[in-house]
């Protein structure tokens, strides 16, 4: 009997996904049909359990929905709609939707707007790209001021402090380095299960392990103790990010391969760089990961037909 219910639920889940039904509708079906025997699901392999119910193996968002549709506040509904657009990689529609709320005092809305402006900037060329990055940084700062205990606010503040620093020259970007790392560390402290924050720490370490000699000279002028790192430290964070959320980001897989190239572990480098091909190209970052992975593979003597 239970197995029949399980198969029925799986069919319902597949149907709802194909018809773009919301999680709330799926949960209503589950509650009505299966709640009396729900306790037996706790030990099933592959059933992902949260404090708010079953997610049916779905990758959790940065903020789990907290209420039923009927009891949600207007801002919670806005955030839910924004997250649906983000999951669809509908970058332009997401920015156009969230920009209506640029004067909000809600940190969850503001950091999402910072992310949306950043992603829109990635689609453009300078000077428009630069303008969107600075706009995004403004929203990230506002979000962090509203709630310094929100890990995502620290993460996006750090990302955009670095992005805007690129436009202010090598010296300024290096000068920002410790502050960037500080906010990534705070993001991980507040939410150690956020793979993107852990990846970002790995990327910071890789940049400073890979710093050209002339930039190292600049760093030594700016700081008594200039920021440094190693490829081994970068690798540790990239591997941890992958452990937290396997296959979450094409750039993390590519950076794993790139770091192994630097460490001259070519077999492992090739393994991860080839894995990048399995990621669909949905975003600018995906496109960049595919391109760089292909270039690195060619440098290792591996071509598309290999």
Which residue, among 52, 60, 103, 51, has the nearest Cα to 83 in the 3D structure?
A: 60
pLDDT at 38 over 90: no
Q: Find the range with the poorest average confidence among 34-38, 108-112, 234-238, 269-273.
A: 34-38
- The reported pTM is 0.75
- Using CA atoms, how far apart are residues 87 and 89, in angstroms rounded to an integer? 5
Which residues, at least 6 apart from 187, have a Cβ–Cβ distance to it below 8 Å? 151, 152, 154, 155, 158, 194, 197, 200
Following CA atoms 195, 198, 200, 203 in sequence, which dihedral angle do they give, to the nearest 10 degrees? -120
Confidence class for position 303, pLDDT limits 50, 70, 90: confident
User: Is the model more confident about 9 or about 241?
Assistant: 241
Average pLDDT over residues 5-11: 49
pLDDT at 305 over 90: no
Following CA atoms 89, 95, 97, 102 in sequence, which dihedral angle do they give, to the nearest 10 degrees? 140
- Using CA atoms, how far apart are residues 231 and 259, in angstroms rounded to an integer? 6
- What is the pLDDT at residue 102? 96
User: Is the model more confident about 47 or about 6?
Assistant: 6
pLDDT at 29 over 80: no
Beta carbons of 269 and 300 less than 8 angstroms apart? yes
């Amino acid at each position: 009997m239970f197995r029949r219910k399980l198969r029925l639920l799986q069919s319902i889940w597949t149907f709802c996904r194909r018809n773009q039904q919301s999680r709330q509708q799926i949960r209503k079906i589950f509650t009505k049909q299966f709640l009396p025997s729900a306790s037996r699901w706790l030990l099933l392999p592959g059933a992902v359990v949260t404090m708010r119910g079953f997610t049916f193996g779905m990758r959790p968002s940065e903020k789990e929905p907290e209420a039923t549709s009927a009891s949600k506040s207007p801002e919670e509904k806005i955030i839910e709609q924004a997250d649906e657009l983000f999951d669809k990689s509908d970058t332009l529609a997401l920015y156009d939707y969230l920009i209506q709320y640029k004067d909000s005092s809600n940190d969850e809305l503001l950091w999402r707007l910072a992310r949306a402006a950043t992603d829109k900037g990635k689609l453009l060329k300078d000077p428009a790209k630069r303008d969107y990055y600075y706009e995004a940084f403004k929203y990230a700062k506002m979000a962090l001021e509203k709630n310094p205990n929100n890990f995502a606010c620290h993460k996006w503040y750090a990302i955009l402090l670095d992005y805007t620093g690129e436009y202010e020259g090598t010296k300024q970007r290096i000068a920002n380095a410790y502050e960037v790392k500080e906010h990534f560390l705070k993001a991980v402290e507040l939410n150690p299960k956020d793979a993107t924050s852990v990846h970002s720490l790995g990327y910071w370490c890789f940049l400073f392990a890979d710093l050209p000699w002339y930039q190292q000279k600049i760093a030594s002028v700016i700081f008594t103790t200039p920021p440094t790192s190693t490829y081994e430290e970068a690798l540790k964070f990239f591997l941890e990010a992958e452990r937290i959320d396997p296959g979450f980001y094409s750039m993390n897989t590519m950076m794993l391969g790139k770091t192994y190239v630097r460490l001259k572990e070519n077999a492992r480098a090739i393994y991860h760089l080839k894995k990048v091909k399995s990621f669909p190209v949905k975003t600018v970052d995906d496109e960049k990961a595919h391109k760089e992975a292909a270039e690195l593979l060619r440098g290792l003597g591996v071509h598309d037909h290999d």
